[in-house]
Amino acid sequence: MSTDPYAGFPPGFFERDDDRPDDVFYAPPRLVTHIDDRATAAVGALYTELGITGRALDLMSSWVSHFEQPPAELVVLGMNAEELAANPAATERIVHDLNADPRILLPDADVDAVVCCVSIDYLTRPIEVLTEAARVLRPGGVLAITFSNRCFPTKAVRGWLATSDEQHGPLVAELVRRAGGFAEPRVERRTPPGPGDPLWAVTAVR
């Protein structure tokens, strides 16, 4: 039996067209939103629905974390110090490249929720990062991964670009399963069909 967590994925699935170190690409601050207002509101509504109120970790974060009501403590982990410094909801900031080192620099069972908004497609070792997410979550804590159809195409992994919007939910759910430590993930579309950016979510309980 293979011990490779990526067994079955095609060769090159998690490689990218732009393989320069990420700290080069993300050096300039981008104080913009990457999804439209309707999709942003859907992210916030999801976080409220999940009851994220205590201590949370926002992976691959930026200057905004999309909470309707920020949790009491919010750790933001991202690539750009200026963006993280501008995040008004943050109570703790960690500048860290998860593609260079997939470890999350927090203790075991440290947070009640881990969220990741429109960034899962940039991870070259997503299973290791999700395994770390399970480690830092307290039992009963929630994982919420949201994504749309926008990305930086040179930095998204090739497998994401080669699959359809409808395939991305099952793909993310499979990554969560392979990480271990979570109940069966749920995949759902959070915005109705129509104009504007679509938003999907994969959620799972530790």
Residue 143: predicted pLDDT: 98
Helix residue ranges per DSSP H, 50-157:
81-85, 126-136
pTM (predicted TM-score): 0.94
For 92-122, write each residue's pLDDT tens digit. 999 999 999 999 999 999 999 999 999 999 9
Whether the per-residue pLDDT at 25 is higher than 80: the answer is: no
Domains assigned to the chain: 31-205 (3.40.50.150)
Task: Identify residue 161 by its one-letter amino acid code.
Answer: L
Q: Count of alpha carbons within 13 Å of 107, Cβ hemisphere only?
A: 3
Whether the per-residue pLDDT at 128 is higher than 90: the answer is: yes
**How far apart are alpha carbons 67 and 87 in whole angstroms?**
11
Residue 199 contacts residue 35 (beta carbons within 8 Å): yes
